[in-house]
Structure 1
């Protein structure tokens, strides 16, 4: 699992470590790791010797890391120049080391940046707030057009704690982060500006709870329900799906498609699209409704393509089983109605739906996804899966989970219906809402990547549903069982 920590917790861990190591040791470790990544990037192009490297350096330790790394590259034969954006506050030791290694302070910053093979962003550290100042923003934009850009710890101008980009910010090809991931490296819109992230171990050991975490194959494999020899469809779980309408029968078909591939033993469909569902999936158990008369159900999914079926919503919310609410179903919710439930509730809005629930606007949610998902979880007393460029899962108390498998090809009609069915099936199989949401998003994104292919191509929601089994197998195949065997 990839864990990310808040700036305050990273700073606390740094102070604890600095008290135990020689002065300057942490900066030298960071600079060594940064220089190594830069050298590999240069070696893949023209080589370190004779390459042109420009450091954009602000004040403080972030600039010091860049300067010491630049000195290491200069000793290997690179022509290293530094643009000092705050000369009076530049890291003195780092600047002296760079000059001693043959590096120079450049006079013509624009010319140096446009001729550079590699530009190192050491402008602002993880404690920075607000966007870049005009001069730094100008040079950062120039660097993005003309050179490979490497950010020190995180791209300057982004918020390390939330992933927000409040103004102009560096757009990096590679980010070298030290000691621990920061939430902003995992969450859009900042994540998109970080490029490929390399983690350098400098001996940091934060003791606080992570602010965010991203599951990996091994974590998801541990969550996925596997049948035993004694399993039957009821032990594996039965998921009820209330979806579709005369206008949107396809939503029901897609939600059922996801549910059938989510690990539950059976799927009960309640709604007006039974004929369409049975035509595609004859194994589905259908019922005309109301939901509470459909038979035994261990979790409900309600909302995709539902239209104005408020009565069905009342029925499902009264159930003593976990409920996933998506799409049209979200329009009928209030915090009071959700908090009154005795079983778990999982909400799965996209940014526009989240904005409606919060009484705000979509742009604000997309710009502040971290804040929005936290606020929704707190307001409704529920688990929230916020769909989008970075899918986030939050409840009232735990670290926010960030899904790392998403792809832009998922921005297609019906993909959210598939996700709802899949995640609801995991709920019915017994996973807690937070785990079901995280595992569902992970498999959903992975399936979309498989459907799009290695070079990327448009996909449909039906194709995504069709690759869920492949995603499930891939997670299991690459995950060792205890004792070394694989499943």
Structure 2
């Protein structure tokens, strides 16, 4: 299909696809996709789509040049017909569309070929970046000789309800493994938390009277307890808001905070916050996470098949998480991530780093725990120390 129709900036509808060309593609063992260049926008046009369907029907190995045709290079959006490649060979630099779903799913295995750009694009111009082991290692909080549990940071967790006590247990599990020196739990699931984690400090009063913390995590399994959430949002320390907290929180209250805020929605929650459908968020993840960060003047971690972290203001690259596994799609895994990232906030990481490092460790822990088999959220929490040691090693 290389150059069969269209060119740079086109969706591929110049010329005619003969029956002979379709037959040739149908017999092929290897198909090279070069229908549209990286400037192409929108779905492939009907003639090009016929070639793509012929390649799919043939069962041939499909290799895309730079980017699968029909995938938006800047966002990963797929507007209609597009090439599903087994592998993509891209040149010079990774394109955002290769790293963000749904485009990432269409790209298959990606190989970068150096063409001598010599860093001329500069890291400050990147739209997207992915932390590597060395980056995460540099950011991990490590206690020193003079550290005690308070100097390492205390994270408060406002989570759980009579209906969802497990959410509190899982959020505390993540928080205890995230680098802070102590965890304060505030809420109605104190008995369940203490039974599982006797080292946790518990309180059933308002968060403002629970004792000093360096960051709060609020929302997992919270139900309709808007009062505790308001107390947390009013605090002058970093706050992570997840799950029910996202449904209850007031946007103006978040925008008015002086301390950092980290929101951690999945696609459905992000859709509700933006007033759009879930499909729209899943089809435009990069645009959605940027829009949310701008609307709420907060750092946003958008969970999903591609986890993205965006800062408010739009002046910094969006971070895409390179770790994870499909087995993470399990109840309670997001509660563990909230506690983990909140603990990193309490240990002193800025919101963007706490979100990105938390997602990296969370995804790596899931891989280590799963090893190709199903896992539960508690398994992921238990494997966080393994992920931590893997990064440090």
Contact 2:8 2:40 in 1 (8 A): no
CA shift for structure 1 position 87: 5.1
Aligned length: 386
Contact 1:246 1:273 in 2 (8 A): yes
Q: Does 1:57 align with 2:10?
A: no
Which residue of 197, 213, 228 corresponds with 1:281?
197
CA change 1:307–1:184 in 2 (3 A) is same
1:124, distance to aligned residue in structure 2 (A): 0.3
- Deviation, 1:358, is 0.9
- 1:359-409: CA deviation from partner (whole Å, max 9, x where unpaired): 111111111111110000000000000011101100122111001112211
Equivalent in the alignment of 1:438: 356
1:225 is matched with 141
The residue number in structure 2 matching 1:426 is 344
Whether 1:156 and 2:72 are equivalent positions in the alignment is no
2:322 paired with 1:407: no
Residue of 256, 259, 267 corresponding to 2:172:
256
For 2:381 and 2:45, the matched residues in 1 are separated by 46
Contact 2:13–2:45 at 8 Å: present in 1 too? no
CA apart distance, 1:130: 0.7
Q: Partner of 2:308 in structure 1?
A: 392
Which residue in the other structure is 1:139 paired with? 51
Query: Equivalents in 1 of 2:188, 2:339: separation in Å?
Result: 17
What does the per-residue CA deviation read over 1:280-337, in whole Å, with 9 as the maximum and x for residues that have no partner? 1111011112111111100000000000111101110111100000000011223311
Tell me, in whole angstroms, the C-alpha distance in 1 between the residues paired with 2:6 and 2:134: 41
Q: Distance in 2 between matches of 1:165 and 1:377?
A: 23
Q: Which residue is 2:37 aligned to?
A: 125
**Secondary structure class of the residue paired with 2:125:** coil
Q: What is the match of residue 347 of structure 1?
A: 263
Cα deviation for residue 138 of structure 1 reads: 2.3
Matched, 1:197 2:110: yes
Give the drift of 1:62.
Answer: 9.7
Q: Which has the higher helix share?
A: 1
Q: 1:292–1:316: 8 Å Cα contact kept in structure 2?
A: yes
- Contact 2:9 / 2:39 at 8 angstroms: preserved in 1? no
CA pair 297-206 structure 1, distance change in 2 beyond 3 A: same
TM-score (norm 1): 0.77
Which residue pairs with 1:34 in the alignment? none
> In structure 2, what is the Cα distance between the partners aligned to 1:209 and 1:430?
27
Q: Secondary structure at the match of 1:120?
A: strand
The residue that corresponds to 1:473 in the other structure is 389
Q: CA deviation at 1:169?
A: 0.4
Contact 2:72 2:103 in 1 (8 A): yes
Structure 2: distance between partners of 1:127 and 1:217: 32
CA contact (8 A) 1:259 1:418 kept: yes
**What does residue 84 of structure 2 align with?**
171
What are the superposed Cα offsets for residues 229-281 of structure 1, whole Å, 9 maximum, x if unpaired? 11111111100000000000000000000000000000000001111111111
Is the contact made by 1:56 and 1:85 (CA closer than 8 Å) also made in structure 2? Answer: no
> Distance between the aligned counterparts of 2:56 and 2:365, measured in 1?
32
Secondary structure of 1:370's partner?
helix
The normalised TM-score by structure 2 is: 0.95
| SS class of match (2:85) | coil
Q: 2:20 aligns with which of 108, 111, 114?
A: 108
- Comparing 431-440 with 388-397, greater Cα deviation is found at 388-397
Superposed CA RMSD: 1.8
Contiguous gaps of at least 5 residues in structure 2 = none
Give secondary structure in 1 for the equivalent of 2:150: helix
* 1:8-87 equivalences in 2 (<5 Å): 55=2, 57-60=4-7, 86=14
Compute the displacement of 1:61 (Å). Answer: 6.2
Question: Which of 115, 121, 132 is equivalent to 1:206?
Answer: 121
CA distance in 2, matches of 1:427, 1:265: 12
1:409-441 per-residue CA deviation (whole Å, 9 max, x = no partner) reads 111100000000000000000000000000000
Query: Displacement of 1:144 after TM fit?
Result: 2.9
